[in-house]
Structure 1
Amino acid sequence: MASYFDELNIRTTRQQPQGYNIDTSDFMNTSTSARSTVPEEDHFMQVIRQVVHTFLLGGFRQQNSGDYVQEEFLDNLISQLLEESQASAKGPPPASDRFIKALPNIPPTAIASEEQCIICKDDLHTSTCITKMPCGHLYDKECLVPWLKLHNTCPMCRLSVESEEQVRQEEEEAQRDWMYA
């Protein structure tokens, strides 16, 4: 199949760039004595070397004294963003110990042979200890308990279960009711 230019008998003055692989020694070489034979590569390598000097070799610290203000601003901005991301990354609280201890044990013979644990992807009919969440999802107990010690949700559907905070509030209410009843 001929190209558009061939079909219309148009000669192109621009040559097609040849593909090349950059050698890592050329990439990291900071001397200017080894020049490239391809003009585009020469300019490209100069830009890459400048970027390497600026960021990896600490070239930004040797610039004008006005850059100190910019560097301080960027440090403050990064610190603020990290603090905000850590503050909002709390997630759901852990499930209560009472809920974890009350998880039902399901015998392997009571489930279908194709059922898999959603966490570890092992076949549940080969597992020795299977448990069921209130939403109906089945898991290896060895997989689910560590999850519940970090989150009070089902790993599959995110149904919330009892958390330690809820247990504490219930106990406080029961204590208040006892005192004022």
Structure 2
Amino acid sequence: MASYFDDHGLEDPYKARKSNYNNGRSLNPDLSHFMPREDTEDEGNFSSRFPSASGPGSNDFRRLAEMLGAFRVREEPLGDEAHQEFLDNLITQLMDEAGASGKHGPPPASKSFIRDLPFVPLKDVKRDEACIICNENFQENESKAGITKLPCKHFFDRDCIVPWLELHNNCPACRAEVPSDDPDWIKKKRDAELAKYAAEAEIDKDWMYS
């Protein structure tokens, strides 16, 4: 399947990494630059290297696309085409958002939502359960940052999902929304709830007088 880079006639920055695999070197990427770091002043409070205080910019989306690209290249020799396609779709979305400086995509998840992501004990995860983003089996490769679960019940390594949530207030798999601090998103949700309430009240009124 053609990737974003193939479709747009661009050089794929991840293809060069294939030679590392062919030469017997590991394709497991060093993602420390992309991963959240632990705040030593407040234990358990993770602070990402992604968006600045002014909000996400083009480079934030490109860096996350590079992180996912590293996972994609690692997957290719394993033949997991479904997961490669999933990553390609995410990379395409991120590159499109980078071109628009993130103005046309979903807003970031709220800081409190990210801070309060639950820690899931390894014993509560099925033996064949894997992180949806990196596709690593939790039982075989437990992340140092721990495992978490979104309200939609999808499991992730914390160091995979936090960078995504700092740019998007949804699950990368099912697109279920999570809370955001974005004023426009909050207003949109409030207006939708008011419209729903008004519609339900109108139905009750019609039923009462029918």
TM range (shorter): 0.3 to 0.5
Q: TM-score, normalised by structure 2?
A: 0.37
Greater Cα radius of gyration, structure 1 or 2: 1
Q: TM-score, normalised by structure 1?
A: 0.43
The structure whose RCO (Cα within 8 Å, separation 6+) is larger is 2
